[in-house]
A = this chain, B = another copy of it.
Amino acid sequence: MSEPAYVLYYWPEIQGRGEFVRLALEEAGAAYVDIARLPRSKGGGVEAILRVLRGELGPHLPFAPPILQAGDVVVAQTAAILQFLGSRLGLVPADPVDQLWVHQLQLTVADLVVEVHDTHHPIAVDLYYAQQKPEAHRRTRHFLSERVPKFLGYFERVLETSGGPWALGKTFSYVDLSLFQMMEGHRYAFPRRMKAVEPRLPRLRALTEAVRHRPRIAAYLASERRIPFNSDGIFRQYPELERRAPEKAAARARPAKRRRTGK
């Protein structure tokens, strides 16, 4: 077997940020290895990631996975990986202004991903969710009422401006894959909230279905390579976080407001 063109280093049990990269590699039909999902005997497992984080792949030390190796190039940061892959894999047009715009949108997806993560980890990434539950409740409440409509409404407006079906209009690009993943993740993690907001997001819904039915993506989603959503990833299904009614939320927020005006 010949060397694969790309080696992805990402946590083997979750979709996480790595999934945005996996979707791009899959859509392009790229030859890649998701190395930490191989057995340790074949150089896989989490140990493969730790080797890169120790600097064994050269001077461009990554801070965290996902990390992509492509020959001599080692690159981390999801949006930077996608920017690098995008032009190599034909997942973005050649026009640098288009490329910059797609990258800017990808960075906004990345910002949203941080906020989703922090709904269950508002205090510290080093603590378990169960150690920060009251704060997670409060953060999720604000996230669902303020941030979900703001971010998803923004992406809907981007599709409206482009004319759709994709972020670049008639031209498909890697950020469309990320918008699909973002929608699917929100549906998994926040089904009640999504049921309420999706009627106002017809273009995002159409994009999500169109990505789902692209032949290589459909094959990927049906394969064992697609790790199911689960409660170790970024999008987690903790129904208790969605359950609190907005009116109760408002009532709970009042003492904090009093504290503020008392200062």
List A residues at the B interface (Cβ < 8 Å): 55, 59-63, 72-73, 75-77, 79-80, 83-84, 97, 100-101, 103-104, 107-108, 111, 114, 118, 122-128, 130-133, 135, 138-139, 142-143, 146, 151, 154, 157-158, 161-162, 253, 256-257, 259-260, 263
Cβ contact within 8 Å between A100 and B114: no
Q: Name A58's closest neighbour in chain B (CB-CB).
A: B161
Q: Which of B79, B125, B127 contacts A107 (CB 8 A)?
A: B79
B146–A122 CB distance below 8 A: no
Tell whether, in the assembled complex, residue B61 and residue A80 are in contact, meaning their CB atoms are under 8 Å apart.
no
Chain B residues with CB under 8 A of A123: 122, 135, 138-139, 142
CB-contact partner of A104 in B76, B127, B130, under 8 A: B76
Residue of B nearest to A122 (CB): B122
**Chain B contacts for A257, CB-based, 8 A:** 131
A104, B260: Cα distance in complex, Å: 39
8 A-B pairs, CB-CB below 8 angstroms?
A60-B101, A80-B107, A111-B114, A114-B114, A126-B142, A130-B259, A131-B260, A133-B256
Whether the Cβ atoms of B118 and A97 lie closer than 8 Å is: no
